[in-house]
Chain A
């Protein structure tokens, strides 16, 4: 039971911004929230407001920490994703509680000057204990109105099928996988983002992804992608196009893909777009056979 309680506490701490037990930000945020709750319980005269923004949030936090709540959640509400237990905390109107408590403090002040000073102080506390969303590591400057990588758009424009043409399958490097079908669903892929981080992670095996990921590392620390294995895999998956980043000092192809018969269609940014004539021919033969 204590173990489950600790799991709940860690979920609470993480929600408040503490990845590790020593991260003071989480405790500061918890303190701000709890101080708001307690202030409302003590100072609010309206019974309804006292219950809604004082007692109820406190009871819900206690409920969240109870092992039985977690057991019910994991067992019956979302058994597939127990890591989403933190979402119970969404039920607590935290922003309203903090903002309301701050306003309550302001309203208790008799002098306008002190009231204004309290307002500024509250804003500063929120800014110091919080984290500006625009500084998030996953926040990037938009390259276009689609809000996806411009390289992906340029590559998709290059390989998209013409009217009446079959939809091509294209093998993209991992970093572009998320965006391709957000731009054009006519482009098929041998593996998708789900194999990288989604619900299918580890659920299926794809030879192209395997060839791209399973690299040989030299003693100098350079990752070498086996070009032969990659071309075998893309041909097996009938990928008409293969997109590969240019070689860097850290990651290289064992051989140029053109040595296996692939043709460079174009270079977009740091990505080479190859077309495989072997696959094109095989697909044409397959189509003709299907017609016959």
Chain B
């Protein structure tokens, strides 16, 4: 029992506290009004994942044996140093911000329903075990890394050595899950099937909540209703096996699910923030102010793109595609050609990914 409790503590540490502290270290890039616990956590999580991708790819390519061990050791050192740095910048005031108490009783009830729906889904994720054939590859790859210390060099289906598959090298989310599993001494299959939904679902709904906050800035009382609709759409979104809802509630630990349900809404969120700022920018003067307003979101968008790369190879093209479309709209709305520079810089991770992909013989 004590061992289980200790594992839970380590899970919380590696999945919540460390990314939060990293966010705390870098949240100086956020505008003052956006320095909330949630956005700081999202920023930290994106940096946390980006660091993993940067360390994991060379390790996977360079080492045949013990690649995961090397990757994990280096990652632990770097993220721990950043987390310590973040601890020194800990801002207690963020936790004591006044939660809106001036809400009407009806609005509070709607918030209650929204939270209850999310909790219901979390409980159902524990109580039900959806079957998905892809787990035989993805989850086993995580477990191989945990049990053998090797990344993508063992055939997950039968065992025995295999050559590297380019798409496995770059889409390293399974290895990040292995890192969490190893660092908390929890079996990688438990982390995938039971822990990841507890992490991914609230994060997805948080992103939708932030989107709703922008959409209903003037009508705050409608926000919980919007979130109830979003929740019901997800729960009843199993009209086919292909919908984001099915992916989220049946295999939230897989890269494709994270991409379709977290990355794409995050891209939309970043652009909504930029659209919001576009009106502010028109009121301010000078290039510095303009840059100050939008640079943060382009940086975060670049980090979101790293997350998309770690999720799935398809994320690279799709992420670029969505950003291209939204940038055109932003260009039309803001009438500032500098958004093209921001958009280009934000997709640099995708371009690097494509370069590595072709250098390693992908697409041949």
A48-B333, A136-B246, A177-B136 known; A130+B157 contact, CB < 8 A: no
Interface: A14 (CB within 8 A): yes
> For window 202-217 of chain B, which residues contact chain A by CB distance below 8 Å?
208, 211, 215-216
B289 at the binding interface (Cβ < 8 Å): no
Let me know if A90 and B246 touch, CB within 8 A.
no
Question: Interface code B232-256, partner A: CB below 8 Å = 1, 0 otherwise?
Answer: 1111111110111110011000000
Q: Considering only CB atoms, which chain A residue lies closest to B325 in the complex?
A: A56
Does B361 touch A at the CB level, under 8 Å?
Answer: no
Nearest residue, chain A, Cβ from B227: A99
Residue of A whose beta carbon sits closest to that of B271: A52
Known contacts A126-B229, A141-B128; A178 and B133 CB within 8 A of each other? yes
Q: Does A86 contact B (CB under 8 A)?
A: yes
B225: contacting residue among A15, A119, A136, A178, CB under 8 A? A119
Select one of B189, B235, B259 contacting A133, CB under 8 A.
B235
Tell me which residues across on chain A come within 8 A of B190, comparing CB atoms: 145-146
Whether B360 sits at the interface, judged by CB under 8 Å, is no
B124 in the interface (beta carbon within 8 A): yes
Q: Which residue of B lies closest to A188 (CB)?
A: B159
- The chain B residue sitting closest to A195, CB to CB, is B157
**Chain B residues, CB < 8 A from A195:** 157
**Is B56's beta carbon under 8 Å from chain A?**
no
* CA gap between A26 and B239 in the complex, in Å: 8
The interface size bin for chain A is 35 or more
**A194 near B136 (CB under 8 angstroms)?**
yes
CA distance A198 to B127 in the complex (A): 27
Q: Which residues of B contact A197 (CB under 8 A)?
A: 133
* Cα separation A91 to B216 with both chains bound (whole Å): 22
Q: Bound state CA distance, A126 and B245, in angstroms?
A: 13
Q: For residue B232, which residues in chain A have a CB less than 8 angstroms away from its CB?
A: 123, 126-127, 130
A139 touches B130 (CB 8 A): yes
A194 to B329, alpha carbons, bound, how many Å? 43
Contact A192 B230 (CB under 8 A): no
Contact B265 A15 (CB under 8 A): no
Supply 6 further A-B pairs (C-beta < 8 A) apart from A91-B264, A91-B325, A93-B268.
A56-B325, A107-B222, A185-B143, A185-B156, A185-B159, A197-B133
- Residues from chain B with Cβ under 8 Å of A47 in the complex: 333
6 contacts across the A-B interface (CB closer than 8 A) = A15-B240, A16-B240, A95-B234, A132-B235, A147-B193, A182-B136
B92 on interface, CB distance cutoff 8 Å: no
Measured between beta carbons, the chain B residues less than 8 angstroms from A102 are 229
B87 at interface by CB-CB < 8 Å: no
A138 touching B250 by the CB < 8 A rule? yes
User: CB-CB < 8 A to B133: which residues of A?
Assistant: 178, 193, 196-198
Chain B minimum-CB-distance residue to A123: B232
Q: Which of A48, A140, A167, A198 contacts B137 (CB 8 A)?
A: A198
Judge whether A272 is part of the interface by a CB distance below 8 angstroms: no
- Expressed in whole angstroms, the Cα–Cα distance for A227 and B211 within the complex equals 61
Q: Which of A9-56 contact B (CB under 8 A)?
A: 14-17, 25-26, 29, 47-49, 51-52, 56
With the chains together, A186 CA to B148 CA distance in Å? Answer: 9
B189 pairs with A148, CB closer than 8 A = yes
Q: Check if A140 sits within 8 Å of B128, measured CB to CB.
A: yes
By beta carbon, the residue of chain A nearest B156 is A181
Residues of A within 8 A of B208 (CB): 95-96
Which residues of B pack against A, CB within 8 Å?
A: 124, 126-137, 139-140, 143-144, 147-148, 154-160, 187, 189-190, 193-194, 208, 211, 215-216, 219, 222, 225-226, 228-230, 232-240, 242-246, 249-250, 259-260, 264-265, 268, 271-272, 275, 278, 314, 317-318, 321-322, 325-326, 329, 332-333
Find out whether the CB atom of A130 lies under 8 angstroms from the CB atom of B236: yes
With known contacts A77-B314, A141-B128, A142-B127, A100–B244 Cβ distance under 8 A: no
The reply to whether the CB of A103 lies closer than 8 angstroms to some CB of chain B is yes
Tell whether, in the assembled complex, residue B156 and residue A78 are in contact, meaning their CB atoms are under 8 Å apart: no
Known: A95-B230, A102-B229, A103-B225. A52 touches B329 (CB 8 A): yes
CA distance A165 to B160 in the complex (A): 16
Instruction: Indicate which residue in B216, B225, B239 contacts A25 across the interface (CB closer than 8 Å).
Output: B239
| A15-B242, A134-B128, A148-B129 known; A185+B144 contact, CB < 8 A | yes
Question: Quick one: closest A residue to B159, CB to CB?
Answer: A188
Contact of B140 among A48, A100, A181, A191 (CB under 8 A): A181
Interface residues of A in 174-233 (CB under 8 A from B): 177-179, 181-198, 200
A129 to B249, CA, bound (A): 18
Residues of A within 8 A of B156 (CB): 181, 185, 192
Q: Which partner residue on chain A sits nearest B229 by CB separation?
A: A99
Q: Which residues of A contact B130 (CB under 8 A)?
A: 136, 138-140, 147
- Contact bitstring A62-89, B, C-beta under 8 A = 1, else 0: 0000000000000001100000101111
Contacts of A122 in B (CB 8 A): 229
CB contact between A78 and one of B243, B244, B250, B314 (< 8 Å): that residue: B314
Which residue of B134, B159, B160, B226 contacts A103 across the interface (Cβ within 8 Å)? B226
Q: Which 7 pairs between the two chains have the least Cβ-Cβ distance?
A: A192-B157, A130-B236, A17-B239, A147-B129, A99-B229, A193-B136, A188-B159
Cα A123 to Cα B140 with chains together (Å)? 39
CB distance from B108 to the nearest CB of A (A): 15
Residues of A within 8 A of B242 (CB): 14-15, 86-87, 89
A131 touches B236 (CB 8 A): yes
